[in-house]
Structure 1
């Protein structure tokens, strides 16, 4: 984290900065989630899945904050583990599996099935309750291929996973995957996301993220010094 070297104001305002715990939406991983992440991360070193997973986790936390009837432990365990199965797919085939206009449904299913298997082992090693393990595994095994949500926790995982695509990190990552401009990446990701979300909160979040990204590439914004 960088430190400022000058101030236009001329006075130090740091004494007025609230603690993170007092800022709505400011978050860090709990001890439980950090333990899952530590074990998941070794399987997430392909296709930016490590960064993707952390951003999706943050989105899921935001969605859970306005969905009090959802089981946070189930949803957050599932989002941290949802993509670990890509480690079982050859790296050169991963983009082929998800490319717009193409795709390999068989590879998508492979990553779901393997992800569910790996997640079961990780959660078992952590001493997780067997009922919770089953609920998490059920979500992971179908989080991309299944067109319906089995539960509110499944809906949150699906929505958080997709919403990452219209974050600044998601848009930039898709640019790199397919050689697209920022505008092209935004249009293809937003079009694929907006019609596939399950919760009202996610739809609102998706519109907001898309609006911000649209302004970033607007000529009026680009013309500012």
Structure 2
């Protein structure tokens, strides 16, 4: 961060900077989620799944603030563990499994099953209640392939996972995966997100992100 004393204003404004809590900012994982992260992270060191997972966690936290009836003790472990199963798929096959216009549904199902197994192991080690473990495992085993949401918690996990695609990070990562321009990446990710979300809150969030990314591609923004 830069200095709170503006070189243009020539006075200190630090007393007017609110704390992160005042604006609902997420500056770290909850302690109970950090314990899950520490055990999940070794399984997420493939295809940017570690950074994807952290961004999806932030999105899930935002959705939970807007949907207070959902249980964070189910949603947050589930989002941190949802993609651990990709660590059980050969690295050179992962992109083929998720590529637009084709893919390998068998590998998608395999990563879901493996992720569910890893999630049960992690949450058992952490002595989470069995009812929580069962719900998290159920969500992860089908988070990509299942077309309906089993619960509001399942809907939030699915929505947080997919909304990531149209964040600046998601668009940039998809560019690298498939050698696309930012405009091409935006069009692919937006098309795959717009009709796949369950909650109105996620639809509004994704719409705003898509609008911002679209403006970044406008000639006026590009200086053309």
TM above 0.5, yes or no, is yes
8 Å contact from structure 2 (residues 43, 87) kept in 1: yes
Counterpart of 2:84?
84
Identify which range, 15-24 or 147-156, moves more after superposition. 15-24
8 Å contact from structure 1 (residues 25, 62) kept in 2: no
1:67-95 CA-to-partner distances (Å, cap 9, x unmatched) read 11111110011000000000000000000
8 Å contact from structure 2 (residues 26, 58) kept in 1: no
Identify which range, 27-36 or 54-63, moves more after superposition. 27-36
Counterpart of 2:172?
172
Report the RMSD for the aligned CA atoms in angstroms.
1.3
Alpha-carbon distance in 2 for matches of 1:43, 1:7: 45
SS of the residue 1:42 aligns to: helix
> Number of aligned pairs?
223
What TM-score results when the alignment is normalised by the length of structure 1? Answer: 0.96
Alpha-carbon distance in 2 for matches of 1:134, 1:105: 24
Counterpart of 1:18?
18
- Aligned pairs (5 A) from 1:103-182: 103-182=103-182
Alpha-carbon distance in 2 for matches of 1:175, 1:119: 30
Alpha-carbon distance in 2 for matches of 1:130, 1:24: 31
Quote how far apart the aligned CAs of 1:102 are. Answer: 1.2
1:42-78 CA-to-partner distances (Å, cap 9, x unmatched) read 1000010000000000000011111111111100110
Quote how far apart the aligned CAs of 1:223 are. Answer: 1.1
SS of the residue 1:100 aligns to: coil
Alpha-carbon distance in 1 for matches of 2:177, 2:57: 22
Counterpart of 1:71?
71
In structure 1, the gaps of 5 or more residues are none
Alpha-carbon distance in 2 for matches of 1:21, 1:85: 34
What TM-score results when the alignment is normalised by the length of structure 2? Answer: 0.97
SS of the residue 2:70 aligns to: coil
Quote how far apart the aligned CAs of 1:28 are. Answer: 2.2
8 Å contact from structure 1 (residues 37, 80) kept in 2: yes
Counterpart of 1:3?
2
Quote how far apart the aligned CAs of 1:12 are. Answer: 1.7
